[in-house]
Amino acid sequence: KTLKEFRHHKNLRVLCCGGDGTIGWVLSALDEIKNFSPDVAILPLGTGNDLARTLNWGGGYEDENLSPILTKIENSSKVLLDRWKITIKGNDELDKPKSMVMNNYFSLGVDAE
């Protein structure tokens, strides 16, 4: 509901603070609002932060000063992200279709300690 109130602001940017699941949830919430697709930046607070790493937002927040992070967001350029919605329908008409949204990105690297 709150996001809908800001949909008319042309230069609105959303800062999503969380991990891959939180980012997916925020992007899905934005998908539900018609004619609204603000830029989304990531402050990685999750466990793996795979999407944040792939999009060059870093692997995790380490209690840094927020001012440089906000400057980075202000100066960042837009990168498009493929999102797929898949609906699975059962064989029986009584089976309720199940849908899921996936973020499609590729990364390669070793970050295990």
Q: Is the pTM of this model over 0.85?
A: no
pLDDT in tens, the chain (113 residues): 677 888 888 788 899 999 999 999 999 988 888 888 889 999 999 888 888 888 888 888 888 898 998 898 889 888 888 888 899 888 887 788 888 888 877 766 665 45
Q: Which residues contact 26 (CB under 8 A, 6 or more apart)?
A: 14, 16, 18, 40
CA distance linking residue 111 with residue 113, whole number of Å: 6
pLDDT at 111: 55
Measuring CA to CA, which residue among 99, 12, 103 is closest to residue 50? 103
Q: Which residues of 48-69 are buried (b: 16+ CB within 10 A; e: fewer)?
A: ebbbbbbbebbeebeeeeeeeb
